[in-house]
C-alpha cells in the first residue's frame, strides 16, 4: 500500500500473527497466535481490513477497520477498532501512515467517514486523534449477546 524509507504499510497476512501477538501483548492483550491468524484471514474478506506497518522485522504498527451501512447514511461508514504502534516506533509517523492507509481502504470501499473507537483512559491517543483531524462524537455502550457474557454479567437483569 505505502512505502517510506524501508517502511511498508500493507495488508496483514496470517504469517504476521506471531509479530502481531507480540505487539498486542505490549498493549496488554494476550491473544494466541493461532487465533490471530484465523481472525486476520476472516477479516480479509469480511468488510474490513487489517493493515500493518513493517520495517525490517515484525510489525511495528497495526490498524484494524471495518465498514458497514446504516439506514441514516447514503454511504457506508468505516470504524477503526484497533490502532496501535509499538512504543519504540512512536513519534516516527507510523500512526499517521496507518491512518492514511486506512482512509484509502475506506474510500475504496465507498465510505465517506471514518470513526475510531477509543478507550477513555488514553490521553496520548486522544491527542493524536485530535491532531489527525478526528472530533469527539459521543459515547459507546455495549452488551453481551449470551446470557453469561465474558464478565459473567446477565444482560437480562
CA distance 31 to 5: 30
Question: What is the residue-wise DSSP string for 43-70?
Answer: HHTSSEEEEEEESSSSEEEEEEEEEE--
The predicted structure's pLDDT at residue 65: 93
Q: State the pLDDT at residue 156.
A: 47
Q: Give the pLDDT of residue 44.
A: 77
Its pTM surpasses 0.85 = no
Question: What domains sit in the chain, N to C, each tagged with a CATH number?
Answer: 2-131 (3.40.630.30)
Q: What are the tens digits of pLDDT across the range 30-48? A: 777 888 888 888 887 678 9
pLDDT beneath 50: ranges in the chain: 3, 153-157
**What is the pLDDT at residue 157?**
46
For residue range 66-89, list pLDDT tens digits in order.
Answer: 999 989 989 999 999 989 898 888
- What is the per-residue pLDDT for 55? 85
- 14 φ, ψ (degrees, to nearest 5): -55, -30
Q: Output phi, psi for 19, to 5 deg.
A: -65, -40
Instruction: Give, for 126, the enclosing helix (H) or strand (E).
Output: helix 123-131
pLDDT at position 9 is: 93
Amino acid at each position: 500500500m505505502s512505502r517510506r524509507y524501508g517502511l511498508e504499510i500493507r495488508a496483514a497476512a496470517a504469517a504476521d500473527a506471531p509479530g502481531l501477538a507480540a505487539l498486542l501483548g505490549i498493549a496488554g492483550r494476550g491473544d494466541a497466535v493461532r487465533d490471530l491468524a484465523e481472525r486476520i484471514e476472516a477479516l480479509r474478506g469480511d468488510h474490513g481490513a487489517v493493515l500493518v506497518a513493517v520495517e525490517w522485522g515484525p510489525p511495528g504498527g497495526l490498524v484494524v477497520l471495518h465498514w458497514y451501512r446504516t439506514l441514516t447514511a447514503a454511504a457506508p461508514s468505516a470504524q477503526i477498532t484497533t490502532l496501535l504502534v509499538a512504543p519504540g516506533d512512536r513519534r516516527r509517523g507510523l500512526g499517521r501512515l496507518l491512518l492514511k492507509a486506512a482512509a484509502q481502504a475506506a474510500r475504496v470501499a465507498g465510505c465517506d467517514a471514518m470513526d475510531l473507537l477509543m478507550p477513555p483512559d488514553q490521553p496520548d491517543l486522544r491527542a493524536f486523534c485530535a491532531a489527525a483531524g478526528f472530533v469527539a462524537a459521543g459515547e459507546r455502550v455495549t452488551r453481551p449477546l449470551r446470557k453469561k457474557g465474558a464478565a459473567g454479567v446477565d444482560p437480562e437483569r
